[in-house]
Amino acid sequence: MTKLVAKSCKDDRQKAMTQLVAKSCEDARQKYPKRIEIYGDILEFHVKVITRDKKVASIVGSNKTHCLVLLQDDHCWRLFAKHAFQDDSHQPNPDFKEIGTKIVEKCKGLPLALTTIGSLLHQKSSISEWEGIFKSEIWEFSEEDSSIVPALALSYHHLPSHLKRCFAYCVLFPKDYRFDKEGLIQLWMAENFLQCHQQSRSPEEVGEQYFNDLLSRSFFQQSSSIKRTHFVMHDLLNDLAKYVCGDIYFRLEDDQAKNIPKTTRHFSVATYMLNALMGLELYTMQKGYAHLCHQVRK
């Protein structure tokens, strides 16, 4: 299954992941003889495009569009409460429920927003803290201008500084990239992100705590693969990480080999893009850039 990214010519944030049935007609005949209808020399392909932007559907010329509906109010509350009151078997305090209901409305039926904001509020034990979340100006964040979901930005805002660094670092991973806990902790160690205040704790133990904290706050999700030993970061959270770190962290894309910002200090590159880096290291060193390059296999 080959994955392609469809980009809008007006806005490169408008992306859709497409899945092709096969790489070529000949390949398809060999691999999927029972799944593909062949009429003479004509091979029928079905392409599925998944996007949050209706403009993408018109750009790719879709002849059929299926729009997913938002979660119903009762489903929104149950999802939010599952994370906000995860340790409580009894009904939540009426005051918490009243404020929580108002916060749920601000999430506008988006499951990821409900999950992350619920996980955030689980860390807040007082009514005043919940009221502070509800009245935050970050809710007025314009999604149209930045594509950042306010609930996610609010959850990031309340992260401890050491977790903010570790989260932002993950923008070096491509969207939908599956990573393992131990490998990411080693990368954090190399960047000196792990604060070992207690000599009795090893850097690996501190890194595992950081990782589990981000996982419990829904910044990471367990991969849906069979082995379930890898993790992923939702593409909306990847967008958030890119927004908060600016150009300090830079992920090299197909059309950006000649456009690395001068402020970049860390960048990642997929192995299939290595040919585009011919001569780039010498160029960047001559310009005095400090950078760390990670090879990311797709």
pLDDT in tens, 30-80: 544 544 444 445 555 566 777 766 676 666 666 777 777 778 889 999 999
pLDDT at residue 4 above 70? no
Share of the chain above pLDDT 90, in %: 40
Q: Domain ranges in the chain? A: 2-59, 73-157, 161-240, 246-298
To the nearest 10°, the Cα dihedral for 197, 199, 202, 206?
Answer: -20
**The pLDDT of residue 179 is above 60:** yes
More confident residue, 156 or 10: 156
Give the residue-averaged pLDDT of 232-254. Answer: 87
What is the DSSP secondary-structure string of 186-232? Answer: HHHHHTT-----STTS-HHHHHHHHHHHHHHTTSSEE--SSS---EE
Report whether 250 contacts 264 (CB < 8 A): yes
CA distances from 216 to 110, 123, 159 (A): 18, 10, 12
Residue 260 banded pLDDT, cuts 50, 70, 90: confident
Looking at the predicted structure, is the pLDDT value of residue 160 above 70? Answer: yes
Query: Cα(153)–Cα(237) distance, rounded to whole angstroms?
Result: 9
> What average pLDDT is seen over the chain?
75
How far, in whole angstroms, is CA 155 from its chain's centroid?
A: 14
d(CA 190, CA 262): 23
Which residue has tokens 């009795």? 200
SS3 3: strand
Residue 233 has which token pair?
């970061």
Alpha helices in the chain (DSSP H): 25-31, 54-59, 73-84, 94-106, 111-122, 127-134, 143-146, 150-157, 161-169, 181-190, 203-216, 235-245, 280-286
The whole-number pLDDT of residue 48 equals 73
Q: Maximum Cα–Cα distance for the chain, whole Å?
A: 72
CATH classification for the domain delimited by 161-240, as one of 1.10.10.10, 3.40.109.10, 3.40.50.620, 2.160.10.10: 1.10.10.10
Say how far apart CA 32 and CA 21 lie, in whole Å.
Answer: 9
What number is the average pLDDT over the span 231-258? 83
Residue 88: what pLDDT? 62
What are the residues facing 266 on neighbouring strands? 249
Residue 57 and residue 65 in contact, taking contact as beta carbons nearer than 8 Å: yes
Characterize 45-71 residue by residue with b for buried, 16 or more Cβ atoms within 10 angstroms of its Cβ, and e for exposed: eeeebebeeeebbebeebeeeeeeeeb
pLDDT of residue 184: 94
| More confidently predicted of 274 and 215 | 215
